[in-house]
Amino acid sequence: MTEGPLASTLRSMVGVWHDVLTARDQQGRVVTDDPYGGTPGPFPYENLVYCDFDGTNWTQTNVTFKGRPVKWRSFRATVVDEILYFNKLGPDAPTHIGVGSGPGQVWFLPQAVDEAWQRYSEPDYIQVDGDTRRRSTALYRDGLFVRTMEVVGTRLATDTTHRVDLDPRGTEGPAHEDISVTYAFQGGHNQ
């Protein structure tokens, strides 16, 4: 069976990425502090992103290591009929999906527009080209557009069986943690 565009893109994202995250407001001005995001705080900042995919199951762990306090969040999802369904992200969270939109391209977004989406939504468009990954995000709070975020990632390793040296958690232990919970969909801006 031929692998579809979503599974092929997820497979191309397997590895450890060093992401640099920047943001801009509605007028295109650089954002230096963001109170609205799912993880509020200063910009720019840097993450390590561990991505694993076995053809059906997706696991991702983001580890903030520079520009913000150390924090990590893990997510899991499953591919069914070429749609990636994320495990519930937190209380009142809508169903989040991933859909392929061509070779090396994927969208992560809510499956339906509902009350939770009105409170908080941050759809992502990701494009992978070899060892470079770009992610563009639009953030909505209380039904209104707030800011954009640009992420430029460079693959550090294709092996995720151990943590990389830059990881503030240390090199010992699994790359992925227990599933994280976000409270952003309940409202408020202090998650």
**pLDDT digits 0-9 by tens, 154-171:** 999 999 999 999 999 999
Distance CA 72, CA 177 (A): 8
Of 53, 46, 47, the closest CA to residue 15 belongs to 53
Mean pLDDT, range 132-147, rounded to an integer: 94
**pLDDT digits 0-9 by tens, 90-127:** 666 678 899 999 999 999 998 887 777 777 888 999 99
Angle at 51 between CA 16 and CA 10, to 5 degrees: 120
Query: What type of residue sits at position 20?
Result: V
- The stretches of 97-188 forming alpha helices (DSSP H) are 115-119
* pTM for the model: 0.89
Instruction: Give all domains of the chain, ordered by start, each with its CATH number.
Output: 5-186 (2.40.128.20)
- The stretches of the chain forming alpha helices (DSSP H) are 5-12, 115-119
